Amino acid sequence: MDLTPLVTTFGIIALAELGDKTQLAVITLSCRYRPLSVFVGAMLAVIAIDGISILIGTALAGLLPLQLLKLISAAIFISFGIKNLIPNDEEKIDVKKSKPALLTSFSMLALLELGDKTQFSVIALAIKYNTPLFIFVGMAAAFALLMGLGVLIGYRLMKFMPKRYLKIITSAVFLIIGVLILAEALIK
């Protein structure tokens, strides 16, 4: 059994996503929500988006124009960044226990993965090796490692940094990611 497709996919995805906006989003979300919910939501998102990409290839990108997907993603990240900066009377509510953590993580990461380099990488790898199961396992393992690290980093930051600083940092990360995605959408 040739494990080259699995090992190659793991290596490419791990290198491509290390420090990428997807991992930064997981770190940021883990500062606000329960880490397990963020991890599960993130993994479900990347498995769904990249898993579908492996199976149906470029058909997914053909459903909506890539530029529109990027504009939607940018708007969501910018709105999260702005919303997080606005003082809220309900800040005494423990956001770590809020119900939408898994849904928020899933939706944000799914939008980030649409049209991302890893989506196109798994499509190309699936075409090259024609072993969708190995490509899927390699991709899922790489994301599990990186999302796990991101959740751990975010959770640790939350324990050592005052909440007001975390709020400013998370808002800045969301705004920066949103502006970068917006610029990418408008330049192409």
Q: Where in the sequence is the domain holding 42, given as residue range(s)?
A: 4-65+91-169
* Mean of pLDDT values over 143-165: 84
Do 40 and 148 meet the contact criterion of CB atoms below 8 Å apart? no
| Assigned domain for 174 exists | no
| Assigned domain for 76 exists | no
| Assigned domain for 162 exists | yes
Q: What is the pTM of this model?
A: 0.71
| Assigned domain for 137 exists | yes
Say what the pLDDT of residue 91 is. Answer: 44
Residue 61 reports pLDDT greater than 60: no
| Assigned domain for 48 exists | yes
How far apart are alpha carbons 100 and 168 in whole angstroms? Answer: 21
| Assigned domain for 75 exists | no
Number of domains comprising the chain? 1
| pLDDT confidence band for 138 (50 / 70 / 90) | very high
Do 67 and 169 meet the contact criterion of CB atoms below 8 Å apart? no
